[in-house]
Structure 1
Amino acid sequence: MKNIKEIYNQKMRKMFTENMKSIFTKDMLKKYDENMLNVLKEVWIDILNVKYEEANKKIVNINKQEIYEIIWNMANVIESFTFYGFSQYMYKKTENVIWLNLSASLLSFTFCCVEGAYAVGIFHAREAVKIEKNLENLVTLLNFYGLPEYLTKDSKKSPASISGR
């Protein structure tokens, strides 16, 4: 079993290295030394292996906005639901609304093809606005503008009931 896990981790490390330009902005690549990039590579592996506490320990000193962008980009590269799980874990642990915004964004963009993702995403966005009404949270909520009415209103109508089925 360990052999399979190590092979998987090696493949994921390689994927991380191949996608560094997609994961980090140019400024981040200039700012982070090789040691820090290796730490973030291990954060990638920890999240994929659902070792959220270990990943959290490694990102504790990174600016929250930067880590938001990094996690967002990591999730977009590999499209693993473990990144959504990590954002929820971090929200539960820190109660920092940035993690609710990340959850909403992941569900509305990266995982939009998953049934119910938009509905849960808008729930997270609304919760963020209830907790802290600021421009960032309102913009996250605004991303849902134009979605089917049954998702954006407090209506109990489903798509089937709206279409008359």
Structure 2
Amino acid sequence: MSREIDYGNLMHTAMRGLIKTVLQDVADHGLPGAHHFFITFDTSHADAELADWLADRYPGEMTVVIQHWFDNLVVAEDGFSITLNFGDAPEPLYIPYDAIKTFVDPSVEFGLRFESAEDDDEAPVPAAINTDHVEEDEPTSSKPDAEVVSLDSFRK
């Protein structure tokens, strides 16, 4: 019986660990400099928690922005909770790490994209995002306008 190393899932775990570490630093010390995040997540994920009106408005995915105002950022093992302002209405959210589809910090042109098995019939594969084209004035758009560079092209 042959065994293979599952690099796709190992990279997912490592990149979600990176997100967790970054968010924990923000929870402990605040956002440094011009850093801010666009996080797109699956609103239908079984463990995601958001107000009914947000789930109705964004039935598949939603992009949130962590920038000027946020409160109650609590980083946990499997996800994070945060209160964000939606049109002067503070709303608590819980976002599991495995519900995250993209994580982008346009201030330093850094981004991650998690492709799922539904996106193509292969195992989930993380990809790097070039954030040169992220539109910062559309925080609730379904996806950031970004060039995606798939890590599949580097596989042998």
Higher relative contact order (CA 8 A, sep 6+): 2
Q: Which structure dedicates a bigger proportion of its chain to helix?
A: 1
TM-score by length of 2: 0.24
Q: Which structure dedicates a bigger proportion of its chain to strand?
A: 2
- Higher alpha-carbon Rg: 1
